[in-house]
């Protein structure tokens, strides 16, 4: 970025709610090879194009257990392969969104801290003690790998309100990047 090269076209369209690939349990990555590295590069391009914090492989139609992320810190884009949550602790409420459920944010309580292990692109085991946003992102992305969306983590009132908005937008064929709406635990809606 900003290095004078032409911006690349994003390799993938993000799969959205209703796409069956988002409901499949993704398979373990068995080979960290050139094809996987190319996939990771393309997922990173797609993540930046969509202005997302993270993209899991199923969101680009690939049923493999990996995701990429960039928390806007000094580490740049990161990849986590075959991630496993070892420990969760605490509680934290946060307005959580998902590129596969565009424009909707839900106030969701989840564990605040997460200890996650997985592999990096060199096949080395990494263990990350994460908190707040990073811990939230790990939980969210690993759920994608298990075939779950945040719509399954919300309260019944939130789910009802969220699905109603999604239906309305499908009927009207809304914009590609719809306006942001935050849905609280009681299903109350605040336009951003």
Contact 55, 14 (CB under 8 A): yes
Residues contacting 123, CB < 8 A, separation 6+ = 32
Q: Which of 28, 91, 125, 141 is catalytic?
A: 141
Residues 31-60 that bind Zn ion (CB under 5 A): none
Binding window for Zn ion (CB under 5 A); candidates: 16-24, 25-33, 84-92, 97-105: 97-105
Rank residues 47 and 98 by Cβ distance to Zn ion and give the closer one: 98
Instruction: Tell me the sheet residues that pair with 95.
Output: 107
Q: Minimum CB separation from Zn ion for residue 125, in Å?
A: 25
Backbone torsions φ then ψ of 156, nearest 5 degrees: -55, -40
Nearer Cβ to Zn ion (5/72)? 72
Task: Please tell me the chain's helix, strand, coil percentages from 3-state DSSP, rounded to the nearest 5.
Answer: 30, 30, 40
Joined together, the tokens standing for residue 87 give 């420990």
Residue 125 burial (CB count, 10 A): 9
Of 32 and 136, CB closest to Zn ion? 136
Q: For residue 111, how far is the Cα from the chain centroid?
A: 17
Of all residues in the shown chain, the one whose CB is closest to Zn ion is 98
CB of 149 to Zn ion, least distance (A): 7
Of 145-184, which residues contact Zn ion (CB under 5 A)?
Answer: none
Count residues contacting Zn ion (CB under 5 A)? 1
Candidate residues 55, 98, 135, 137; the one interacting with Zn ion per rule CB under 5 A:
98
Smallest separation, CB 6 to Zn ion (Å): 29
Under 8 Å between Cβ of 183 and 105:
yes
134 an active-site residue? Answer: no
Nearest approach in angstroms of CB 168 to Zn ion is 21
Return d(Cα 12, Cα 47) in angstroms, integer: 9
Task: For Zn ion, give the closer residue by CB, 101 or 119.
Answer: 101
H or E segment to which residue 106 belongs:
strand 104-110
Active-site residues, by number, are: 141
Which stretches of the chain bind Zn ion, using CB under 5 A? 98
């Amino acid at each position: 970025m900003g290095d004078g090269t032409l911006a690349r076209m994003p390799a993938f369209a993000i799969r959205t709610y209703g796409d069956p690939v988002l409901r499949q349990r993704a398979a373990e990555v068995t080979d960290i090879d050139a094809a996987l590295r190319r996939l990771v590069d393309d997922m990173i391009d797609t993540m930046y194009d969509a202005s997302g914090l993270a993209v899991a492989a199923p969101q680009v139609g690939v049923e493999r257990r990996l995701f990429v992320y960039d928390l806007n810190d000094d580490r740049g884009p990161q990849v986590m392969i075959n991630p496993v949550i070892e420990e969760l602790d605490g509680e934290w409420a946060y307005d959580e969104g998902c590129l596969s459920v565009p424009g909707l944010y839900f106030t969701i309580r989840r564990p605040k801290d997460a200890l996650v292990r997985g592999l990096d692109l060199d096949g080395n085991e990494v263990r990350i003690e994460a908190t707040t946003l990073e811990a939230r992102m790990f939980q969210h992305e690993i759920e994608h790998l298990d075939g779950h969306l945040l719509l399954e983590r919300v309260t019944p009132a939130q789910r009802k309100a969220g699905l109603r908005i999604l239906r309305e937008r499908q009927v009207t064929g809304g914009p590609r990047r719809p306006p942001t709406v935050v849905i609280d635990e009681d299903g109350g809606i605040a336009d951003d």
